[in-house]
Amino acid sequence: MSAAPLLSVEDLHVEFSTHGGTVQAVRGVNFAVDAGRTLAIVGESGCGKSVSVQSVMGLIPIPPGRISAGSARLRGVEILGNNLIDGRDVRGAEIGMIFQDPMTSLNPTMTIGAQIAEPLRVHRGYGAGRAREEAIRLLDSCRIPEARKRAGQYPFEFSGGMLQRAMIAMAISCKPALLIADEPTTALDVTIQSQILDLMRELQGETGMAIILITHDLGVVARMADEVAVMYAGKIVEHGSVDDIFYRSAHPYTCGLRSAMPVNDRSRHAELKPIEGRPPDLFAPPPGCGYAPRCPHAMQLCGREHPPEFAIGPGRTRPDPAHYSRCWLHHELNRQRPPELHFRE
């Protein structure tokens, strides 16, 4: 294995100019994913998680969007802004992507089969017949019954869950090294969610592709992810292995998210504990930590200066990432760490 990760994103900044001013949607984001691994990016609506991956894929409209700084390298080759390696589009070929709402993410006037065949025709130069046969095979491998008949149908003849399966078939048609799933189950009901997640895992097992999973559902994270990046107000505030995030949460925001998870346990008489307040205005981001106004442990310093990454612990075995948190509480001079920031395993 080479040392370079499959995809590494560094110092990504994305802003949008609007009538009301410039929104700094993503403010310096770093993440990386290795082959065969799943990275989950979690955060609430508007925290910049979708914008981050869509910028990498060249999907944000420019203007009003603008990638003001950063880099995204696929196997060491810069793809940010052009999506090209050796003059070929990596989208659809090396990176597949699925989206939140399968009902609107497919072209209503094209058959499902033709839409799945499209990347094969574009990237592999398949003829119509061969691409169609491959599309049917892909539908079948995504557990769609009567694939041959289904390939000739239109999106309005499919249910939501079936459409998301078709989306997955389309995204993996050229056997990409990376699948980006942008809230793939948010629009689906719970039983279908579970089937879609299982399908993604199975396909990952078969092909060894990496997955970047964008979600706000910690249940999905726990089930799917190897490592997790928690985003808040355009920055990654905590990053670590899935165990680090769930059992050794270091950032107060991660702890807030965890305690805001509904618990299905009558004996604990649990009430839902929301995080009070709302995220900062990204038209004028605060100079310090974005979470400070909502944070129960905020110090004077937090409002003034943005915390750097503090290492919480080293990656324990090689593929496990280092666990770090952007929170002043973890500064080495701070000896009074609130006890709830260390959960016992």
Smallest distance, Å, CB 105 to another protein? 4
Smallest distance, Å, CB 214 to another protein? 13
Supply φ then ψ for residue 109, to 5 degrees.
-105, 15
Q: What is the DSSP letter of 91?
A: B
Using CB under 8 A as the binding rule, whether residue 104 contacts another protein is answered as yes
Smallest distance, Å, CB 109 to another protein? 5
Using CB under 8 A as the binding rule, whether residue 160 contacts another protein is answered as no
Using CB under 8 A as the binding rule, whether residue 101 contacts another protein is answered as yes
CA distances from 16 to 24, 26, 48, 63, 326 (A): 7, 10, 11, 8, 24
CA distances from 172 to 152, 185, 206, 229, 288 (A): 19, 17, 12, 24, 41
The residues, any chain, with a CB within 8 Å of residue 343's CB and separated by 6 or more, are 247, 248, 249
Tell which one of 52, 55, 83, 215 touches another protein (CB under 8 A).
Answer: 83
CA distances from 124 to 82, 223, 285, 343 (A): 20, 34, 45, 50
Tell which one of 16, 99, 291, 324 touches another protein (CB under 8 A).
Answer: 99
158 within 8 A of 111, measured Cβ to Cβ: no
Using CB under 8 A as the binding rule, whether residue 105 contacts another protein is answered as yes
Tell which one of 170, 181, 212, 250 touches another protein (CB under 8 A).
Answer: 170
Smallest distance, Å, CB 199 to another protein? 18
Reported as half-sphere exposure (CB side, CA atoms, 13 A), residue 169 has a value of 31
Tell which one of 122, 192, 299, 301 touches another protein (CB under 8 A).
Answer: 122
Q: Which positions from 25 through 64 interact with another protein, judged by CB under 8 A?
A: 57-59, 61
Query: What is the rounded distance in angstroms from the CA atom of residue 328 to the CA atom of residue 337?
Result: 10
Binding residues for another protein, rule CB under 8 A, total 31
Query: Of the ranges 102-110, 260-268, 296-304, 322-330, which one interacts with another protein (CB under 8 A)?
Result: 102-110
Binding site for another protein (CB under 8 A): 57-59, 61, 83, 89-93, 96-97, 99, 101, 104-111, 118-119, 122-123, 154, 156, 167, 170-171
